[in-house]
Chains A and B, each alone.
Chain A
Amino acid sequence: MIKIALAGNPNCGKTTLFNALTGSNQFVGNWPGVTVEKKEGKLKGHKDAVIMDLPGIYSLSPYTLEEVVARNYLINEKPDVILNIIDGTNIERNLYLSTQLMELGIPVIIAVNMMDIVKKSGDQIYIDRLSEKLGCEVVEISALKGEGIKEAADRAVWLAQQNKKTPAVHHFQSEVETILNRIEDKLGSQIPNEQKRFFAIKLLEKDDKIVTLMNVVPNVEDEIKEIEDMMDDDTESIITNERYLYISSIIDECCKKNSKGKLTVSDRIDHVVTNRFLALPIFALVMILVYVVSVTTVGGWATDWANDGVFGDGWHLFSIGTTDYENAVEEYDRAEQILVAFDEGEDVAQIMDEEENVTETVTLNDSVVSKANEIAEAGEPDPSEFGVWVPGIPGILESGLDALNCADWLKGLILDGIVAGVGAVLGFVPQMLVLFLFLAFLEACGYMARVAFIMDRIFRKFGLSGKSFIPMLIGTGCGVPGIMASRTIENDRDRKMTIMTTTFIPCSAKLPIIALISGALFHGAWWVAPSAYFVGIAAIICSGIMLKKTKMFAGDPAPFVMELPAYHMPTVSNVLRSMWERGWSFIKKAGTIILLSTIFVWFTSYFGWIDGQFRMLDAMELDHSILASIGNAIAWIFTPLGWGDWKSAVAAITGLVAKENVVGTFGILFGFSEVAENGTEIWTMLAASMTAAAAYSFLVFNLLCAPCFAAMGAIKREMNNAKWFWFAVGYQTVLAYAVALCVYQFATFFTTGAFGIGTMIALVITAGFLFLLCRPYKESQRLNVSSVMSSK
């Protein structure tokens, strides 16, 4: 088996090349112990060759996780050949990594990418001379257009089969070379000859992570001191300079630049898109477009289809016949209502639509009644007569289970538990795919990197990075893809902080709760819904400030430095692939964690003790269920929040499974088998059972507390660490509890004037909250001092 390692800078087209080389034959995972993605694939056309896609890196220094992962792989696994992809439009910087790769003693083949752009701009790269000067194979490719890719792969395989040890050809100044030779001699036999140069340079650079890869570490302090005194610089800078010097010394012979000094297309786009005045309006426009299309129009339509069609009654193929069918249903309903009115001896019939609004008043006479009779006798319209009717999954399953004479409890488990639960989650998939499609496009074309740049100044003020904006925007639709979008944030602390705060933004599933509380307790006051968003945004800002001051997130803020890729049109296949990768990871999760949790909730809500007997319950007997017992047992916890009755407690628990459940649960608990989305039926009952203060506290708690199972699963996956997962969920719940408590206690105090122990506790919490918000950043003071000193 031939192992090919694919290495290169970020944004040089590595992923495109990897996809082109492997097709769909990929395995995606994580490098052990870290959240760096690991991709492996079989080389197309060569059964015995695998390609390892290394993370995008700028050098083999020990400063980033990606670099350490990549170099450990290269040293320990010793791939047969390194395929080093470099960006032809940016060859000098890219060769910096190449010089380091060539010191590893592994054959290197350099693929100069984006040759089409290089040629278009009138520049020239002389491949032969480059190959001669670097002492390795060099080929031209265009990963985006698929040019030269097969040749590059064939050449890499051929090189691996030669099985030659290739020493690096490039050299530094003689002083540096002498010192390096002395260190190489000290290494002795523990390091194979071809790797000696790499280890010698790393030792000279005082790279402390290299020591873990060696048995015996020779003392090289004399050499370091000697060269530092001689060149009046630290060893790392000396080596960096030597590399760039070597590259500049060969580059003029190998490349001819005609475009020097001219602005590239990308720079000209940046002049507009990241312009001081236009940047924010353009950004707002793009975001509104993404939001409108993926959450409301196309996405909304797709979600309706998935929820009402696939996981509902069914749908007409390509929507052919849907309008006719709906008209027929309407006509049938009208006829029925006319007949009812006629039977009751009325003179006129009031025709009502589904929402019970009067749409038409018909004066009854013989012709109207006989026509209605005719329609009614024809029977209820059958959807399959109007087009190709595809029944929904629940319908198919139900008839299938009936045919099998399946036990009632199993039918209940499958239909009410699994299909209803998992279906509700999978119903979001089409919408998510639309959203992911946009994100993949924005990422691939290069705009996403600019968003971080534009938003950074604003988000930095409360401890988040510019890239946090995108997850939060997506979070207004659904928290799951929102949390997953945090992947684009490289900085570990910023990413964790974003994951923890993204779900504070009210997602679409929380809107029915807002509608319920606002309708039942506040007579639909206009301020309730905007206040929910305000609470979410305030929670994000306050959390950002508070968490940055804790030990876990403390430390110098990561300075904002990031490379911006050149703007380019991404290929359709790459965008679709990226969309599908994210979508599929969500679907897989729905199949595991969500499946298990829905089974658990179904079991606890449909089974319980009635008159000392344990049995399955009807939907109306929910107050005897295990879930109700749990609700009763924990209701006291919520007493300080003003809603310590078991019904609210149970509603909050089912809200953990999916926020959509809250309104439905209240409906069932108040004795309705089904309620409208905003729960109009139970408004009066809910209003009687809690005060306005308690209701708003319930709303706040549900907005801020741990999100639904699906989002918690996403948090766990993205944190990739059990401790951090529990910290995130715990923090959200504690914050929700504290805020809800303060809301209830203060609102009660100001409306009734009752001052009790609860008010005291609320005051203490508020004081603690203000302390956490206002205490100084210890680390940042130190940073200020050092930055003042260094700028002097």
Chain B
Amino acid sequence: MKASALAIARHLALVLVATILLLPVYWLIMSAFRPADDIFRYAGEFGLATLLPRRLTLENFHQIFAGTFPRALFNSLFVCTATVTLGVLVNSMAGFAFAVFDFPFRRALFIIVLLSFMMPFESIVIPLYTLVRTLHWTDTYAALILPEVAGGLIIFLFRQFFAGIPREIYEAARVDGASWWQIYWQMTLPLSGPTIATASLMMFIHQWDAFFWPLVATSSADLAVVQVAIARNMTLEQANWGALFASASTAVIVAAVPFFILQRSYVRVVAVQADK
């Protein structure tokens, strides 16, 4: 009897929390499909019409895709794809070295990796701008991509996974005459699907989320990523709510697609790492 009261309370809490977390996102996306005049018409007085659209239209999306938004979307996707591709390669190589070899300074170098993973990227944004300006890299894709490639967290993830592969496999391959590069590229990487997926998701979300660095590193509209473009539009043309809702919804949906495909493996890999 008492146990079932507890179960009911838990389910009520689950529904309440899920509502608080989901409803704002639902309202954002649903409103993007409303005629611009309707977006706030039903917001001030709460009722069924606040949550269920009376009229539906794609007008807001037509409008943003005719403007500069596709360029921002391309910039974001290009920067994210490049970061993830380079990041998987570079960080998995480093993780491989830490997991497989014994070499001088291994411990010291690994502590540097852990420290870099515990200092969030945002902490160095302003001095990084000083560096990038000295290199004349402001307003380039390189400035958006390269600083985000090497990351302690991703090196650590790969290192943890690779360390679980029995070393005898490598010894056998060495006896057969395989080079270390061949072992890494043809044996180890193909085994690490879930870790690559989780690392890619983490790098994608982090780069997609980035706001502070793209804001200071690029000033030209041609290089604005989605986050910066939307924030600038919000202050510049505040009256155009339809465009704002449509572009914000598109940004949420694009990030949610890889997330929900990979979400289960993300939870599993993070859980296993934290458990070690």
Please indicate whether A and B come from the same complex rather than being unrelated chains: no
Show the binding face of A for B, using Cβ within 8 Å.
none
Show the binding face of B for A, using Cβ within 8 Å.
none
